[in-house]
Structure 1
Amino acid sequence: MDSTSWRSESGEPAPSKLSPVDDRLTADTALRRVRRGEYLLYTGDFHNAKQLVGAMARRLPHPPAARSPLEAFRAERRARQLEHDTLSRIVVALDREYRLEVKRAPDVAEACRQVWGKPEADRTLVSLKTLLGMLGAAEWRRKGLAVPGLEGKLHPHYGVYLPTRTDYVELLLSVTDVKGKQVFDVGTGTGVLSFILLQRGAAAVTATDCDSRAVACARENAERLRLSKRFQVLETDLLPPGKADLIVSNPPWIPEPPKNRVDRAVFDEDNRFLLGFLDGLAAHLNPGGQGLLLLSDLAVLLGLRSPEWLDEQLAQRGLVVKWKRSAPARHGKAKDKSDPLHAARSREITTLYGIVPGAPVAG
C-alpha cells in the first residue's frame, strides 16, 4: 500500500477526506465547500490553482473599523487566522520525487527538500498556500539578501525570520567596542547579528535558537561568509552555558501566542523569551560585560504592554540601562496607510538598550 505524508506548519491534523477538484471549480463554490469543512485536492492546472486561491482571498471579509490600536490588532489577527483556515484547505499532492501532480507545474523538488529533507512517503499532501510560501523562500535562499553593514549576502531559509527590516541591524552598527569580545547571540535566527559583530572584530560568537531550521540556516550562512571558525550555534532555548562580554538579542516583540511555527519569530506568549533573557543575563556576563537588547515598542503602541513595563522588569532583576539608542521604523508597513495597524506602526520605534547589572534588588 502506498504511504502518504501530510505536511502542515500549524499542526493541523491530516484531512480525513479529500475531495478532488479541477479547473472548473469557481472561487465562490470553493469558499462554500471549505466553509462546510471540506478539504479540496486540486488536480487541474497549477496557474489556475494559484488564481483560485487569490480569488478566494479577495472574497474574505476585511477587518471591521476599530476604535483603538489594540482592537485593530485583535481584528487583524482574527482575519489572518480566517484566511489561513480557509485557504489552507486547497491541497495539492506531490509524488515520491516531490513532483507536483498538476498540469504546468513548476519544479518544486528543491524547495521541498530544503524544508522537509528526503521524501518519507510515496505521496506528500500540503496546502497550496504553504507550498507557495516555500517556493518564495527558496528564491530568497537562492539569490541571497543584502543587509546593511554585512559584507556578503545572507541566505535565509524557509520558516526563519527574514531580516528585511534593517532598523535594528543599523542600531547594532552603532556599537563600536566589539573587538576581541566573546559574544552570545540569543535567538539568532539567520545569524545576522552574530555575523555583523564577527566582521567588526568580535573574537567569537556562541549563538542559540530553539528552532532547528534557524540553527541550520545560521550554520550555513556562517560557512558562506567564512566565519564558521569563530561561530558556533546551539539548538537550545535562551542562553548557552558559560559567560560572555556581550550578550545580544532581538527577541520576538509581540507578547501574544504564536499560531504556527513561523510566528515564533514575532510572537512571544506572556513575554516568556524576553523575561527568560533578562532572568539569565547577569549570571552569564563577564565582569564589565553588557547585554544588548534590541526591542520594538509596537507592543506598547498596541496596548499590549504599559510604557513602564520594561523598566519595571529590569528593576526587579537588578538590571540598569546604561545607554540606549533609538530609530524610527522604516519598513513598508510603517508607511502603508491602508494597513489596519498603520496608526501604531507609523509611530513605531526600535531601541537598542545597553544593559548592565546594577545594585542588588532589595528583599
Structure 2
Amino acid sequence: MLATEKQYVQWFENETLRHARWLSQSNQVPPARIVLVDDKTTADEAYRLACAGTSMLWYGDFHNARQLLQALTRRIEHSEQRKISKAANKQDKSAGSPHSDKSTAESLVTPKIIPNLFHQQRQAQAQRSRLLSRLLLKLDAGYISQLRRAPDVRAACTAAFGQLDERMDESCLLSFRDLQGALGAAGWRAKGVPIKPLNLSIFPHYGVFAPTRHEYVQLLLDAPLPDTCRVAFDIGTGTGLLAIILAQRGVKQIIATDLNPRALACASENFARLELSAVHLQQADLFPTDAPLANLLVCNPPWLPAKPTSPLEYAVYDANSAMLRGFLQGVKQHLAEQGEVWLILSDLAEHLQLRSRDELLGWFSDAGLAVKYRLDTQPKHGRSQDETDPLFAARSAEITSLWCLVPFDN
C-alpha cells in the first residue's frame, strides 16, 4: 500500500536531472544512487551494482529485464548456498564430526540450531528482496511503459498502487519486482485459486494472501457445528474463505472482520460472486463491535511468531504471537453460552522451536479455554517435500490442526 505522503526520486540522464514519483508496495525509501542500464548490462555487473547498494534503471527490452532478474536470483541463491555450506562446515568442526556422508541440509539440521537457521533464512530472504528490488523501471503517466515488448500494465498497477493523478502528467519509478508482484496478483484475481473441496475458486486481490495452501478446508468441513449455531464470527477474514465455508454449511449470520481495507474489498467481491447474503463485513481489529454474541468463533491467524517485513507477510508472520494471544484473550467476551472456538493453526512454529506446545496450551488456559477436541491434517505443499531445504526436518513434520476450544464453564 502506498504511503500517504508522496515520495519522489531523482537521477541523472544524459547530464540532465530527472525526477519521478516513487512507488513501493512495502514503502521502501527512494533509492539514493541510480545508474542507467540496458540490454548490454551483464548479470555479473548488475549483481555487483546491487550488492554495492546501487539501483539500476532499466532502459532495455522488457523481457530482457525479466531474464536479468532471474539471473540475479540465481547469483543470490548461489551466494546463499555458499553461506549455508560454510555454516555447515563450522557446525561440523565444532561438533568434532565431519558428516561427510550427509547432505548440507541434513548436516545443518540439529535441534539446537534450527531456530538460528530459521532466522538466518529470514535474514537471507530480506537481503534477497533488497537486492532484487534494485532493478527499477519507469512508467509514464497512467502507468504506461515505453520499453520494447512491454505488456499493458495499467490495470494491474492501478489495482496495486492506486490511481495516479494524470492531470499532473506524472511519471513514476518502481522496482521491476514490485511490478511483477502487481502482474501476478492481477493474474490470480482474474483466474482465481481453485478450492477443490468446495468446488469453487477464490479470487485474491493485490496485498491479500492467496489461499494456495488450503489443507485446513477439509478440517472446517469435517468439524461438527455447535448444536446452536445462529451467529458466527470469522476473525481476520482475508479473502473470506472461512466465512464462505461457514455459509455453505448453513450458518445463518456470519460477521467477517479484517483491519486491512484491501482484504475487506477482496472478501466483499468473493461474497458477491457467490451471492452470500448471510455474510456481513466489518473493519475491525479482531472482534466486531455492536454485534450479538457468537455461537462460533473461527480464526486462522498467522502461524509463525516472527516480524513481518512486507504487507503480504502479515498473513504468515505474527510478531510475538500478538494476534493469536489477542484473539484468545478476547474470546470469552464475544462467545455465547455453549459456544465454541475453532482455531486453525500449524505446529511449524513448534518444530522450528519458536513456540512450544506447553506455551500454546498455557495461552488457552490463561484465556479460560479448554480443548474439546482437535482435528489434524498433514500439509502436502512443495516445501514439505523438499529434502534439500535446510529446514526439511521441521517442515516435513508439520501438522495443521483445527483446535475446538470451549470455556472452562461450558
CA distance in structure 2 between the partners assigned to 1:149 and 1:7 by the alignment = 39
Query: Distance in 2 between the 1:336 and 1:208 partners?
Result: 35
The CA deviation string for residues 163-199 of structure 1, in whole angstroms up to 9 with x for no partner, is 1112111111112326852111111110001001101
| Deviation (angstroms), 1:58 | 0.7
The partner residue of 2:233 within 176, 184, 189 is: 184
State which of 63, 77, 80 in structure 2 corresponds to 1:62. 80
Please say which of residues 115-124 and 203-212 is displaced more in the overlay. 115-124
Query: What do residues 51-110 of structure 1 show as CA deviations (whole Å, max 9, x unaligned)?
Result: 111111111112514343223212211211111110101011111121123111011111
SS at match of 1:125: strand
Choose from 120, 140, 150 the match for 1:75: 120
* Counterpart residue type for residue 15 of structure 1: P
Tell me the equivalent position of 1:200. Answer: 249
User: Is the 8 Å Cα contact of residues 39 and 89 (structure 1) preserved in structure 2?
Assistant: yes
Q: Which residue of 2 aligns with 1:48?
A: 64
Residues 124, 43 of structure 1: alpha-carbon distance in 2 compared, 3 angstrom cutoff: same
Distance 1:287 1:2 in 2: 65
Question: How big is each residue's C-alpha offset from its partner over 1:317-362, in whole Å with a ceiling of 9 and x where there is no partner?
Answer: 21111111111111111111122321111010011011111159xx
Cα RMSD of the aligned pairs, angstroms, is 1.9
Question: Mean alpha-carbon deviation: is it higher for 20-29 or for 70-79?
Answer: 70-79
Q: How far 1:2 moved relative to its partner?
A: 9.4
Q: What is aligned with 2:9?
A: none
Partner AA of 1:249 in structure 2: C
Structure 1: segments with no counterpart, 5+ residues:
none
Secondary structure in 2 aligned to 1:139? helix
Output the CA distance in 2 between the equivalents of 1:54 and 1:149: 35
Does the 8 Å CA contact 2:38/2:61 hold for their aligned counterparts? yes
Runs of 4+ in structure 1 displaced over 4 angstroms?
Answer: none
Match of 1:155 among 203, 221, 229: 203
Distance across 1 between alignment mates of 2:391 and 2:287: 33
Check if 1:342 corresponds to 2:387.
no
- Please say if 1:232 is aligned against 2:280: yes
Write out aligned runs for 1:275-314 (5 A): 275-314=325-364
CA shift in 2, pair 1:200/1:2, >3 Å? farther
1:21 aligns with 37
Number of residues paired by the alignment? 359
Partner of 2:373: 323
Question: What is the DSSP-based 3-state SS (H/G/I as helix, E as strand, rest coil) of the residue aligned with 2:401?
Answer: strand
TM-score, normalised by the number of residues in structure 2:
0.84
- Conservation of the 8 A alpha-carbon contact between 2:25 and 2:161: no
Where in structure 2 are there 5+ consecutive unaligned residues?
1-16, 89-107
The equivalent of 2:264 in structure 1 is: 215
Q: CA deviation at 1:3?
A: 7.6
Shift of 1:47: 0.8
- Structure 2 letter corresponding to 1:211: N
Q: CA deviation at 1:7?
A: 1.7
Change (3 A) 1:187 1:297: same
Deviations 1:106-156 (A, max 9, x none): 111111111222223611211111111221111111011211332432111
**Structure of larger gyration radius:** 2
Matches of 1:320 and 1:130, distance apart in 2: 44
**Corresponding residue SS for 1:173:** helix
Conserved? CA contact 2:229–2:296, under 8 Å: no
- Say whether 1:118 aligns with 2:163: yes
